[in-house]
Structures are given as C-alpha cells and as structure tokens.
Amino acid sequence: MCFFFNSTVNLRQSVALGPKVMISLRLDGELPHKYSEIEMASIYNLSNARSDVYEINGNIRVANNLSTIFIPSSFQVPNGSTSWTIIPYTRRYVRIKLHPVREWKIQTRSLGQFPRCSRHFDAPAVLFSTGAFPLNYFHAFNDIFIPLYLTTRRFDGQVVLLISNYLIWQEVKHNYVRILKSFTRYDIVHLDDEKDVLCFPKLIVGLTSNKEFNIDPLQPPHYSMTGFTQFIRNAYSLKRDAVTDVRKPRMLLISRKMNRILMNEGEVANMARDLGFDVVVKEMGSNLTEVAHFVNSLDVMVGVHGAGLTNMIFLPEKAVVIQITPFAIEGVSEAYFGLPARDMKLRYIEYNATVNESSLARKYSLESEICRDPHGIEKKKGLMYYHKLYYRSQNVILDLV
C-alpha cells in the first residue's frame, strides 16, 4: 500500500454521390478546419462501430412533429431506399439503455411534396439526442460532449444545435448549459418543444465518436483529448493549464456514498496528510461550474472507479490521477480512465485492490467462487449478475499496513 502514496509524488465514404469540391486547410493545434465548399446535394455516411452519423448537404427540412428529416428524392440513397431510420446517439453497441432514445426517419421526397419551411437557417445544424443515460455524469461527457466536440469544432461556433430527448435532462440540464453554449453562437433548439419545420443547407445527424471517454487523433477529424480539455478550460474560464507551482500539493479524495465506497477513507486521508499532502475529502457536487474551478485547483485526484473520476477533465496538465480499482473489475479501468488520463497529459496511477481488500471477502468465503473465480461467475450467471455483484454490491477497505 505504500506504493499507492509514494507514487503520487477513413476518408468520408459517400452513400449518395453528388458533385463536390472541397478546399481544406489544416492548421496547427486544435483550431477548427478552415474550408470553403462548392457542392451540390449530397449525403455521406460517416457511421462507425460506435455511432450512426449522416452528413447531408442540400435542401433539408426537419419536421419535429413527424420525427422526420426530409431530403430531395434526387438524392441517391443506400440500396435505393426512400427512407431509413437513425438513432442520433452514440454507443450504438450498447443494447440496454436506461431511457429510450427517439428514432428519426430520413425520408426522400420530391420538392413539391416537402412540408413548407417555417424557419430558415443559413448555418449548418447538428441533430443529436441527450437520452439513454441522462443522469450519469460519465455518459454526459463520453456520449455527448466529446462527440459533440469532434462533430462541431470545425464550424467554430457557426452551427445550430438541435437537441432531441432534451426533456429527459430536466433534472440536470441546467448544469450543462454552459458547455452546450460553448459549441454554438446560436440559440439551442430543443426539438421536444419545436412545432416549426426547420430548414437548413447542411445537417449532420448523430455525433462522431471514436474512443471511450477519449479521442483518437489518428482518425478524422484528427483532434486530440488535450484539445478538448483546453476547450473545456476555456468554457469555464479555468486558470491553471498545467501544474507548475512548487507548493504543498493539494489532493482530492473522492467520497462515494452508494456503492464502491472506500470504507476507510478517513485513514487514507490521514496517511496522505502525514506524507505532506493538503487533503480534501468530498463528494462531487451538482454545480458543475463550482466543481470545475475546484478540480482545476488540485494537483492530485484519488478515487475508486466510478463517474467521479470523470472530473479529471478539469485538472491541469501534469496533475496526478490515482484510480482505485475494486476486485474483479480491473478489465475496464484502463480503458475508461487510464488511457484517457494519459491522453489528457495527466500522470496516471492505478491501484488494483485485492480480494482481501474487498467487502465481498467479509460476506463470502475466500474459497467461494465469488472470491476465487469472478470470470467463472460471469460465464455461469451472466453479465447482469456479474455487474450487480462486483460493481454495485462491493466496497473497498484499503490495506494501509
């Protein structure tokens, strides 16, 4: 356990071809792409394993009351179809969602059969859903804000956000308004309340996502996670870009109350204080602006695997993140927080708790299959049982000897 503290010091593939000429200039850093386009009606399938995305150029009409996006019948569409549906939410590979996500139909029609425009926009638009996991902090960033950055950054704010399932966010949406407004210079359109037929010259349906809580700079549009964290620091006017000052390092020990609780967090905090850290033990609050400024003041963040670690997004570069991974769930910790932390230029340490540091060892025999063979339990009882047992019914007691 001493180690725990000592370590702290594709080209776009067209499915409907239309003549297109694009002149693109890639700039250094994370500035948006500068481009000019001369193009006729076209539709591009930008989908991947994580999300369905279509980019449509031309005479486009969004009719919320019909959950339909109308495009001209002159478009050549996949398999000669006249319509198809899309769920504009990332994580297409996850079948079980906490809330239903509204489906949208893309429908071809002759211009004479188009519904009349109620409101015209000169700017492009992005249509996406905030449903599925609306109250989960991790999913807000992983499923929405990072993909929204990938999808809209090239427009440098000259884009209209069309949000579906926004009412599901009623309890928490006030927390995310500041981030959402950072992506656009236009009023956000809440489609759940929209009665007008909206008309656009360009529409992207769905959000680009290429990595878990992360960005793959090798994939288009070639942005990076450090670019996203700088974008967030700008959105919240955070002062510290990197850890540079030599002072008593400030550490946050994230407190959890529901599950995966650190049972001896008081002892852990005292040990850290003895080692010279200025330690704060607290739950992450609901006011995201306050949380952002508080986390940006830290040098070290320590937490058991969970959504609270998402707040590393506000840390200055070169800060330290220590993830305590409970017994039997080591497989996801690296992908969810380890790789993202490094790509944010944070220093990352992972502590894998042993079975003896698990509350399960106090409930079941160490010789039981639950303590001896977690993967065997998953094979026999299924993923849902495994998740309930090891993620939702387990706490951690760190061995400080």
- In this structure, the strands spanning 83-86 and 20-25 are unpaired
Average pLDDT of the chain to the nearest whole number = 87
Please write the tens of the pLDDT for every residue from 284-313: 988 899 999 999 999 999 999 999 999 999
- pLDDT on residue 31: 40
* pLDDT band, very low/low/confident/very high, at 28 (cuts 50, 70, 90): very low
What CATH architecture is 238-390?
3-Layer(aba) Sandwich (3.40)
- pLDDT on residue 241: 98
Whether the per-residue pLDDT at 12 is higher than 70: the answer is: no
d(CA 124, CA 101): 23
Which residue spans of the chain are classified as CATH 3.40.50?
A: 238-390
- pLDDT on residue 121: 98
- Please, are residues 50 and 93 in contact by the beta-carbon 8 Å criterion? yes
**Ranges of H-type helices in 126-200:** 137-139, 146-152, 173-182
- pLDDT on residue 5: 53
- Please, are residues 288 and 176 in contact by the beta-carbon 8 Å criterion? yes
Please write the tens of the pLDDT for every residue from 122-180: 999 999 998 766 567 898 999 999 999 999 999 999 999 999 988 666 656 678 889 99
Q: Could you tell me the CA-to-CA distances from 79 to 15, 74, 280 in Å, in that order?
A: 9, 14, 59
> What proportion of the chain, given as a percentage, has pLDDT over 70?
84
Beta bridge partners of 297: none
Please write the tens of the pLDDT for every residue from 239-265: 999 999 768 999 999 999 999 999 999
* pLDDT band, very low/low/confident/very high, at 11 (cuts 50, 70, 90): very low
- pLDDT on residue 153: 98
d(CA 306, CA 323): 9
d(CA 48, CA 186): 29
- pLDDT on residue 15: 34
Q: Could you tell me the CA-to-CA distances from 190 to 195, 198, 281 in Å, in that order?
A: 10, 12, 38
- pLDDT on residue 126: 99
Whether the per-residue pLDDT at 23 is higher than 90: the answer is: no
- pLDDT on residue 168: 62
> What proportion of the chain, given as a percentage, has pLDDT over 90?
71
- Please, are residues 124 and 151 in contact by the beta-carbon 8 Å criterion? no
Whether the per-residue pLDDT at 21 is higher than 50: the answer is: no
* Average pLDDT of span 218-224: 95
The model scores a pTM over 0.85: yes
Closest-CA residue to 115 (of 195, 44, 57): 195
Whether the per-residue pLDDT at 356 is higher than 70: the answer is: yes
Does residue 255 or residue 8 have the better pLDDT?
Answer: 255
- pLDDT on residue 137: 85
Collapsed DSSP state (helix, strand, coil) of residue 85: strand
* Average pLDDT of span 91-116: 80
Whether the per-residue pLDDT at 14 is higher than 50: the answer is: no
- pLDDT on residue 331: 86
| Angle of CA points 90, 24, 207, to nearest 5° | 5
Whether the per-residue pLDDT at 369 is higher than 80: the answer is: yes
* pLDDT band, very low/low/confident/very high, at 73 (cuts 50, 70, 90): confident
Whether the per-residue pLDDT at 70 is higher than 90: the answer is: yes
- pLDDT on residue 234: 97
Does residue 246 or residue 209 have the better pLDDT?
Answer: 209
Q: What is the 3-state secondary structure (H, E, C) of 218-261?
A: CCCCCCCHHHHHHHHHHHCCCCCCECCCCCCCEEEEECCCCCCC
- Please, are residues 298 and 251 in contact by the beta-carbon 8 Å criterion? yes
- pLDDT on residue 101: 84
* pLDDT band, very low/low/confident/very high, at 333 (cuts 50, 70, 90): very high
Least confident of 7-16, 113-122, 168-177: 7-16
